[in-house]
């Protein structure tokens, strides 16, 4: 099946064969440690121990904005001068910190040792440390490691590295088990609940990865079909495919059209009839269409420029162009994964300027010359651009806010229409 009519049904190859502008210069992006902020909220009994410097501790502490009297589920084991000078055995120090932590916090069931720039520079082998500590603490606590270092990862790649490290820990699905859908990528609980409800109403058996509790790790095997809920999970997808799971190619569930096509991909795979699909999605689709109309009035015809940040840029640009009639000036992405982006690229208007990687000075020059109505960028660029009279949207907000699915589509549009409205009011 798949005859349910999306918003537009024209056949277009859009930007499928696009040759992006490739830049490999200075970049202005957070490192992968940032992912800890949403990951620690999702996996409720996991702890993220960054093995890093005071800078790393400061980044996490200020980005997460945790109150000082809360018991956080992340922390930093500081590599100090004695470690750097080789005066102390870093592995011994790490064992001591981990033992202390786990003795004091019996609620922790999964511990991630997270590598950083300093741990990478001194070539600290965290996989060996995780293996050693796992032997001591498993089964009470599973110890894993991944890198969130700014040398290896940007912003959302931290989640990819974390989930890819978790894939080998997933239990093997029984060979005779019925086909199951796995939704991959961290989603806000409210979004997850809505998606579960829609897919279960269609009769699809499903699980989410990562789970909310570490003992709920979903099984994986040849009967697993997975949909990506986030566009930045290339390594995780590869690790799942190595465990025989099959990837379902779909656009990402942003906006009315993206969510419908994403659900349709699962429905097709699981043999859901058009009639059932219609019954389940007609109500939410109508509500979403109505809610988006309000924002379309403010956004249509406005131009937008994306600096590369979260890898959400291409699906967001598709949503803003096709559903809200915005004009795309440049769509920058840190990495372009052609296979995962295939359906999104086909939906972008032909000729869209897509850039991959960054050379921030050159990109700023292009942006100032183009004078877009709105720019999506990191925190470091927002203030200078606002000072030039350009309305900005912080990319990080798009990662922290629940934006996937039908019920969130209008909130997502609001994240773009509100700053423009505010500027109009200030100018009046």
Taking the complex as a whole, how short is the minimal distance between the CB of residue 44 and ligand SF4, in angstroms? Answer: 24
Question: Can you say how many angstroms the Cα of residue 231 is from the centroid of all Cα atoms in its chain?
Answer: 6
Tokens of 332: 């920058």
Short-list 387, 209, 405, 191, CA closest to 319: 405
- Render 144-190 in DSSP notation, one character per residue: EEEE--TTT--TTHHHHHHHHHHGGGSPBPPTTSPPEEEEES---HH
Nearer to ligand SF4, 56 or 254 (CB): 56
Taking the complex as a whole, how short is the minimal distance between the CB of residue 224 and ligand SF4, in angstroms? Answer: 33
Q: Which residues contact 272 (CB under 8 A, 6 or more apart)?
A: 1, 202, 203, 204, 266
Q: Contact region for ligand SF4 (CB under 6 A) — 49-57, 93-101, 221-229, 239-247?
A: 49-57
Separation of alpha carbons 285 and 278, rounded Å: 10
Nearer to ligand SF4, 63 or 291 (CB): 63
Contact 341, 372 (CB under 8 A): no
* Contact characters 335-364, ligand SF4, x per CB under 6 A: ------------------------------
Exposed / middle / buried, residue 369 (Cβ in 10 Å: 0-12, 13-18, 19+): exposed
Is 157 a binding residue for ligand SF4 by CB under 6 A? The answer is no
Separation of alpha carbons 408 and 331, rounded Å: 22
Taking the complex as a whole, how short is the minimal distance between the CB of residue 161 and ligand SF4, in angstroms? Answer: 12
Of residues 303-322, which lie at the interface with ligand SF4 (CB under 6 A)? none
Nearer to ligand SF4, 64 or 276 (CB): 64
CB-nearest residue to ligand SF4: 150
Is 377 a binding residue for ligand SF4 by CB under 6 A? The answer is no
Is 117 a binding residue for ligand SF4 by CB under 6 A? The answer is yes
Percentages of the chain per state (helix, strand, coil), in multiples of 5: 50, 15, 35
Is 31 a binding residue for ligand SF4 by CB under 6 A? The answer is yes
Taking the complex as a whole, how short is the minimal distance between the CB of residue 61 and ligand SF4, in angstroms? Answer: 11
Is 59 a binding residue for ligand SF4 by CB under 6 A? The answer is yes
Backbone angles phi, psi at 275, to 5 degrees: -65, -45
Q: Contact region for ligand SF4 (CB under 6 A) — 50-58, 126-134, 287-295, 375-383?
A: 50-58
Nearer to ligand SF4, 114 or 217 (CB): 114
Question: Can you say how many angstroms the Cα of residue 320 is from the centroid of all Cα atoms in its chain?
Answer: 18
Contact 44, 214 (CB under 8 A): no
Question: Can you say how many angstroms the Cα of residue 214 is from the centroid of all Cα atoms in its chain?
Answer: 20
Is 150 a binding residue for ligand SF4 by CB under 6 A? The answer is yes
Q: Contact region for ligand SF4 (CB under 6 A) — 7-15, 51-59, 190-198, 271-279?
A: 51-59
The DSSP call for residue 217 is P
Interface residue with ligand SF4 among 53, 154, 259, 311 (CB under 6 A) is 53
Taking the complex as a whole, how short is the minimal distance between the CB of residue 60 and ligand SF4, in angstroms? Answer: 8
Tokens of 263: 């659900």
Nearer to ligand SF4, 154 or 260 (CB): 154
Exposed / middle / buried, residue 148 (Cβ in 10 Å: 0-12, 13-18, 19+): buried
Is 49 a binding residue for ligand SF4 by CB under 6 A? The answer is no
Nearer to ligand SF4, 149 or 311 (CB): 149
Is 35 a binding residue for ligand SF4 by CB under 6 A? The answer is no
22 bridge partner residues:
356
Is 56 a binding residue for ligand SF4 by CB under 6 A? The answer is yes
Nearer to ligand SF4, 59 or 329 (CB): 59
111 three-state secondary structure: strand
Is 37 a binding residue for ligand SF4 by CB under 6 A? The answer is no
The residues binding ligand SF4 (CB under 6 A) are 31, 33, 52-53, 55-56, 59, 116-117, 149-150
């Amino acid at each position: 099946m798949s005859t349910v009519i999306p918003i537009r049904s024209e056949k277009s190859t859009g930007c499928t064969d696009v040759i992006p502008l490739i830049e490999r210069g200075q970049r202005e992006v957070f490192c992968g440690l940032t992912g800890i902020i949403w990951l620690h909220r999702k996996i409720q009994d996991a702890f993220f121990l960054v093995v890093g410097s005071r800078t790393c501790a400061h980044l996490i502490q200020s980005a997460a904005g945790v109150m000082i009297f809360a018991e956080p589920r992340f922390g930093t084991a500081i590599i100090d001068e004695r470690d750097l000078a080789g005066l102390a055995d870093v592995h011994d120090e790490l064992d001591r910190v981990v033992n202390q932590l786990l003795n004091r916090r019996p609620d922790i069931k999964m511990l991630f040792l997270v590598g950083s720039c300093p741990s990478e520079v001194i070539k600290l082998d965290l996989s060996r440390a995780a293996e050693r500590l796992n032997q001591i603490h498993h089964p009470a606590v599973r110890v894993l490691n991944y890198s969130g270092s700014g040398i290896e990862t940007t912003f959302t790649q931290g989640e990819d590295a974390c989930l890819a490290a978790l894939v080998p820990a997933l239990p093997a699905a029984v060979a005779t088990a019925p086909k199951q859908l796995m939704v991959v990528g961290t989603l806000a609980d409210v979004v997850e609940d809505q998606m579960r409800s829609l897919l279960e109403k269609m009769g699809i058996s499903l699980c989410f990865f990562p789970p909310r509790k570490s003992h709920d790790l979903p099984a994986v095997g040849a009967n697993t079909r997975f949909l990506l809920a986030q566009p930045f999970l290339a390594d995780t997808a590869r690790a799942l495919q190595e465990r025989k799971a099959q990837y379902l190619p779909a656009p990402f569930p942003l906006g009315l059209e993206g969510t419908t096509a994403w659900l349709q991909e699962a429905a097709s795979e699981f043999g859901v009839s058009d009639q059932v699909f219609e019954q389940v999605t007609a109500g939410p689709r109508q509500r979403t269409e109505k809610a988006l109309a309000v924002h379309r009035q403010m956004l249509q015809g406005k131009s937008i420029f994306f600096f590369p940040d979260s890898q959400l840029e291409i699906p967001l640009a598709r949503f803003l162009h096709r559903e809200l009639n915005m004009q795309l000036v440049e769509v920058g992405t840190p990495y372009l994964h052609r296979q995962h982006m295939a359906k999104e690229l086909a939906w972008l208007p032909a000729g869209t300027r897509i850039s991959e990687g960054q050379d921030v000075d050159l990109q700023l020059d292009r942006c100032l010359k183009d004078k877009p109505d709105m720019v999506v960028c990191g925190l470091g660029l927002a203030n200078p651009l606002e000072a030039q009279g350009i309305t900005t949207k912080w990319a990080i907000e798009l990662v922290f806010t629940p934006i996937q699915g039908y019920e969130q589509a209008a909130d997502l549009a609001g994240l773009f229409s509100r700053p423009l409205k505010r500027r109009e009011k200030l100018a009046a």
